DNA sequence: GTGGTCTAGACCACT
DNA sequence: GTGGTCTAGACCACC
């Protein structure tokens, strides 16, 4: 059973937190292409939210090419990431990298610490895929 | 004059975009401790937004320890970043590093590309401070 | 054996995709009046769907006058299209033409390109009938 | 005031009908880039539907690059259609052209009638833009 | 069983 | 004022 949880005190809306967790499981390989996700109702019950909230999260992830909803059958991890133009991909990554860099400078963290953190997180994602 | 701009179609609210830009200028050294920021009215006029939007951005940044409002005199870059506990600092950086890592894996970017992007952004910040 | 296939990730329901394919084969002459269609069970097995899905598709097509179910014998292409009032026929065609036109304008496609596409598709249908 | 209306007996969901109408107004030039659409609440009141239904329609049109929602300000026609890869654009047009061609053959309409309908619809869209 | 749509209404966030 | 999120619950469509 997939572990999902919400931080009700977070500034991010619930549907957005759910999206991030699913993205994480897909990125880490815990969820693989073709895998079935918890049904909308099951996830809603488990998280203690309204089914419509899960519908929104799953729907947005479908738009993003991460999931694939099949009427009457369920929701699945998409077989292949929707081809995003290389330029857009690079731009998205750079936005996240810049955001990290700005915080690092403000918090006065040395470059090596920042790079180490990124490496650790990348390895953590790979690690989860193993079993 | 500080260059500020908004992407009205962005998902991020205007005040949040403004905050990010101020953080960027402070991180890069374009704005140094003690520097005066544009007045709320001037910034609002320049950006074409409601002054309340600038008030909110400056207020949040004051709360975060980046700015320092002095009644009747204006808004300034704080002399020293409010001391954030090392643990919190690490946690904030790790959150950003994780977010970058998740996207990198999903977009299938190799580790070296990711690290290069981060290094580039860190250097870009340092570069802006020089002149 | 008739080639049938489903796109499970499509927004259109399975029964609707099946209908469209049968319509296509009938329009192109691959299926001619009186021809027998695959049995409900055979089609369901071939497509990997629930027989009820095929029942629904065949049923709707019978209602539209494209097919003709004969109890105990099978499902056949109707001898003559059920006479649809000229006015309704025109209206249905115009609906599809308008939908095409709206997309063409939005996608900034020149008129000649649009007309060429339509001509090509009409010829493709005629071409399939030949052999 | 923009004319909007729903056919409650239609098989298409209300939000989808709304989308089609907005697409039509944008394609015809009745709505031009930058134009403000009726607010979500105003449109909902006018159409006699729940605001959430309009939210869904506007949201999907934003994903499609037709509209642009700005928190607290309103919903506007996007300045420029999101660049869709030429290949996808062609594919979308061809799908609509094929659907038209299939119906034309089934309804036994001669090629010239079909092409005339398409031309008429394209001209109708251009005509509405004039004033 | 699954997902899809819609309502009525609440409360929050942004400008 | 604007749009954004969420709830509780209904009913429909698909498989």
Q: What percent of chain A has pLDDT over 90?
A: 50
pLDDT of residue B114: 95
Q: In which band, very low, low, confident or very high, does the pLDDT at B29 lie, cut at 50, 70 and 90?
A: confident
Using the Cα atoms of residue C113, residue C119, residue C122 and residue C128 in order, give the sign of their dihedral: negative
Q: Residue D122: pLDDT above 90?
A: yes
CA angle B118, B121, B123 (to 5 degrees): 110
Q: Three-state SS string across chain D, please? A: CCCCCCCCCCCCCHHHHHHHHHHHHHHHCCCCCCCECCCHHHHHHHHCCCHHHHHHHHHHHHHCCCEEEECCCEEEECCCCCCCCHHHHHHHHHHHHHHHHHHHHHCCCCHHHHHHHHHHHHHHHHHHHCC
Specify the pLDDT at position B84.
65
CA distance B87 to B91: 6
DSSP per-residue string spanning B3-23: -----TTSSS-HHHHHHHHHH
Q: In the structure, how far is the CA atom of residue C109 from the C1' atom of nucleotide E4, in angstroms? A: 33
Residues of A whose CB is below 8 A from C47 = none
Q: Is chain C adjacent to chain B, meaning 3+ CB pairs within 8 angstroms?
A: no
Reported as a pLDDT band with limits 50, 70 and 90, residue B10 is: confident
Among all protein residues, pick the one whose CA is nearest to the C1' atom of F5. A13
Q: For residue range C12-31, list pLDDT tens digits in order.
A: 888 988 998 898 888 888 88
pLDDT of amino acid D81 = 62
Q: What is the mean pLDDT of chain C?
A: 84
pLDDT average, residue stretch B93-122: 91
pLDDT at D126: 82
CA atoms within 13 A on the CB side of B45: 5
Q: Which nucleotide is nearest to A37 (CA to C1')?
A: E2
B88-106 pLDDT, tens digit each = 788 889 989 998 998 898 8
Identify whether the C-beta of residue C75 lies closer than 8 Å to the C-beta of residue C41.
no
SS3 A75: strand
Between B109 and B71, the higher pLDDT residue: B109
Q: Does residue C63 register a pLDDT over 90? A: no
Q: Which of residues 46-65 of B touch D (CB under 8 A)?
A: none
D11 contacts: CB under 8 Å, gap ≥ 6: none
Q: Output D31 or B106, whichever has higher pLDDT.
A: D31
The confidence score (pLDDT) of residue B110 equals 92
Residue B117 is predicted with a pLDDT of 95
Alpha helices in chain C (DSSP H): 14-28, 40-47, 51-63, 86-106, 111-129
Distance C13 CA to F14 C1' (A): 7
pLDDT in tens, B34-54: 888 988 888 888 888 888 888
Q: How far apart are CA D130 and CA D28, in angstroms?
A: 9
Q: Residue D14 CB closer than 7 angstroms to strand E?
A: yes
How far apart are alpha carbons C130 and D79 in whole angstroms?
Answer: 48
Are residues B97 and A117, on separate chains, in Cβ contact within 8 Å?
Answer: yes
> What's the CA A30/C1' F8 distance, rounded, in angstroms?
33
Is the pLDDT higher at D86 or at C57? C57
Compare CB distances from C122 to D89, D111, D120 and report the shortest one's residue.
D111
pLDDT in tens, D75-121: 999 987 656 677 878 888 998 999 899 888 878 889 999 999 999 99
Of D72 and A116, the one with more pLDDT: A116
**Per-residue model confidence (pLDDT) at position D130:** 54
Instruction: Answer for the pair D87, C64: CB distance below 8 angstroms, yes or no.
Output: no
List, for residues B62-91, the tens digit of each pLDDT value: 888 888 888 778 888 887 655 567 787 888
pLDDT of B15 strictly over 70? yes
**CA→C1' distance for D68 and E4 (Å):** 25
Cβ separation C8–A73 shorter than 8 A? yes
Q: Determine whether the interchain pair B89/A107 forms a contact, defined as Cβ–Cβ distance below 8 Å.
A: yes
Question: In the prediction, which pLDDT does D83 show?
Answer: 61
The tokens of D113 are what? 């009638």
| Smallest CA–C1' separation from B55, nucleotide | E15
A70–C8 C-beta distance less than 8 A: yes
Name the residue of chain B whose CA is nearest to D78's CA.
B9
pLDDT for A84 beyond 70:
no
pLDDT bucket at B1, cuts 50 / 70 / 90: low
What's the Cα-to-Cα distance from A105 to each of A99, B23, B95, B102, rounded to whole Å?
10, 10, 15, 22
Q: Closest partner residue to B81 among A28, A106, A117, by Cβ?
A: A106
Q: Is the pLDDT of residue C130 over 60?
A: no
**Closest to A55 measured CA to CA, from A82, A63, D50:** A63
- pTM for the structure as a whole: 0.77
CA distance B74 to D22: 46
How far is the CA of D79 from the CAs of A93, B74, D35, D66, D69, in angstroms? 25, 37, 9, 9, 12
């Amino acid at each position: 059973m997939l572990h999902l949880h919400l931080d009700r005190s977070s500034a991010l809306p619930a549907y957005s937190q759910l999206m991030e967790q699913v993205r994480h499981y897909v990125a880490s390989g815990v969820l693989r292409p073709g895998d079935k996700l918890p049904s909308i109702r099951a996830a809603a019950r488990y998280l203690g939210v309204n089914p419509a909230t899960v519908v929104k999260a799953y729907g947005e992830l479908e738009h993003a090419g991460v999931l694939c909803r099949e009427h009457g059958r369920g929701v699945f991890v998409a077989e292949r990431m929707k081809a995003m133009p290389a330029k857009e991909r690079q731009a998205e990554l750079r936005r996240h990298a810049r955001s990290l860099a700005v915080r690092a400078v403000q918090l006065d963290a040395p470059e090596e610490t920042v790079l180490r953190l990124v490496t650790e997180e990348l390895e953590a994602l790979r690690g989860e895929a193993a079993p």
